[in-house]
Amino acid sequence: MEKKDFWYYVHGKSSKELRDPKKLVWNVIIEDWNGREMIVHNIFDHFSLMNDLISIKKEVKKQFDKEDMTLQDSAEAFKFFEEKVSRVLGYHYFGKSEWEFIATSWPPYVESEEIDRLVQEREQQLQKWDRFYRTDVCLSIGTKMDVYAQIRMNWPQFIDYLWANFDLIKKPRG
């Protein structure tokens, strides 16, 4: 993925370009550990997640696709779908460090006690290892966010989007 500022996803494209009728898109923010930067990630690019969604789609069709009623009109089918999708998303994205980052205030800051702790930790590492690479910082304001939390913040919109685009749940081409 080429590097793009987050604003690109809001202002860089026309609304028509953002709505590809052939592909599911739900963007979240994650850390690219190799690139050491924050990036935008489409959750539907996750291969295992898509395989699980395809399995859920098959289950829903098997249980609820009847001749006398369309699938989209079945509240029972929607509830079943919603519960299964929530479990699968939790399995893939909840509480896993590779999908987490810290959301903090702007600008981020540390208290004076934390600076003292950091200086002491640096000195200890220099004495022990003869070098200092990096260490964790305890921010005064910060909360750990994972992909699952980002999705759950907009759950009604997300599950409605996925249900409305039920036919787009399929293996990607190429």
Q: How far apart (Å, rounded) are the C-alpha atoms in residues 52 and 154?
A: 21
DSSP of 75-141: HHHHHHHHHHHHHHHHHHHTT-GGGEEEEE-SS----HHHHHHHHHHHHHHHHHHS---------SS
Q: What is the pTM of this model?
A: 0.77
What are the boundaries of each domain within the chain? 8-97+146-168, 106-140
Residues 6 or more apart whose CB falls under 8 angstroms from that of 137 comprise: 110, 114, 118
Taking only the tens place, the pLDDT of each residue in 2-29 is 555 555 555 444 455 555 568 899 999 9
pLDDT digits 0-9 by tens, 95-104: 899 999 989 9
Give the pLDDT confidence of 140-169 residue by residue, as tens digits. 898 899 999 999 999 999 999 999 999 999
